[in-house]
Amino acid sequence: MFRNFLAIASLLTLVGCENVAIGEFSAFSNSSDSARDTPNREFYQSDDPIIAGQALFRDEVYGRAFNKFKNALETNPNDPTALYGYAASADMLGRFDLANAAYDKLRPIIGTRIEYYNNRGYSLLLQGDLVNARTHFLSAYEIDPSNERAANNLELLRNSINYPRRSAGDIEGI
């Protein structure tokens, strides 16, 4: 009898030291502690760099956004959202070589979507390639004539054509 009491007392002491209820020793416990996730989470893909990159891009912090999208592409090189963000950030930084490579990689993945045509056309517009920009903007407009962004891009292109190009020396007298 005394042995049973000692065994129960020592068991309760151990349980008290660990802050674990007696039922926690069961393999069939319903507590949150028994259903904890494994500490190794590298198996799961994380969208954190993409989410951070999108927020930075909206805040016009293009250099940091570019780095976040670049990190996302290191994890998943064919992620369309990361490729879009990477290309758009590269465009805003004037790194058209990187943007063009990203758009080339993006085209076989989702190159027939309106977003692709709008973004690629805008990139070409920034690069001064108005003829190819128009082709992409028209493709976007043909997909959805009611799309406001496609209409705005065509108007932006129209306005860009109306302004004359000037060489760097034309502004020196001002």
CATH number for position 74? 1.25.40.10
What is the spatial distance between Cα 102 and Cα 82, in angstroms, rounded to a whole number?
10
Show the CA angle centred on residue 107, arms to residues 101 and 112, nearest 5°: 155
Residue 19's pLDDT is 47
Domain of 79, in residue numbers: 45-110
Flag whether 87 is in a domain: yes
Residues 56 and 98 both lie in one domain:
yes
Question: Is this structure's pTM higher than 0.75?
Answer: no
Check residue 13 and give its pLDDT. 45
Nearest residue to 95 via CA among 69, 132, 130: 69
In a domain, 155, yes or no: yes
Considering the domain architecture, whether residues 122 and 80 belong to the same structural domain is answered as no
Residues 101, 149, single domain; the answer is no
Q: Could you tell me if residue 121 is inside a domain?
A: yes
pLDDT at 160: 80
Residue type at 3 in one-letter notation: R
124, 86: one domain: no
Domain assignment of residue 7, yes or no = no
Q: Are residues 101 and 142 in the same domain?
A: no
Whether 59 and 104 share a structural domain: yes
Are the C-beta atoms of residues 150 and 118 closer than 8 Å to each other? Answer: yes
Domain closes at, from 95, 110, 125: 110
Residue 5: the pLDDT is: 47
31 Ramachandran zone, left/alpha/beta (phi>0; psi -120 to 50): beta
- Give the C-alpha separation, 89 to 7, whole Å: 67
Residues 94 and 141 in one domain: no
Output the pLDDT for position 70. 96
Positive or negative: CA dihedral 60, 64, 68, 74: positive
Are 33 and 20 contacting, i.e. CB atoms less than 8 angstroms apart? yes
Tens-of-pLDDT digits for all 174 residues of the chain? 555 544 554 544 444 444 444 444 444 445 555 455 555 555 445 789 999 999 999 999 999 999 999 999 999 999 999 999 999 999 999 999 999 999 999 999 988 899 999 999 999 999 999 999 999 999 999 999 999 999 999 998 888 876 655 555 555 544
pLDDT at 159: 85
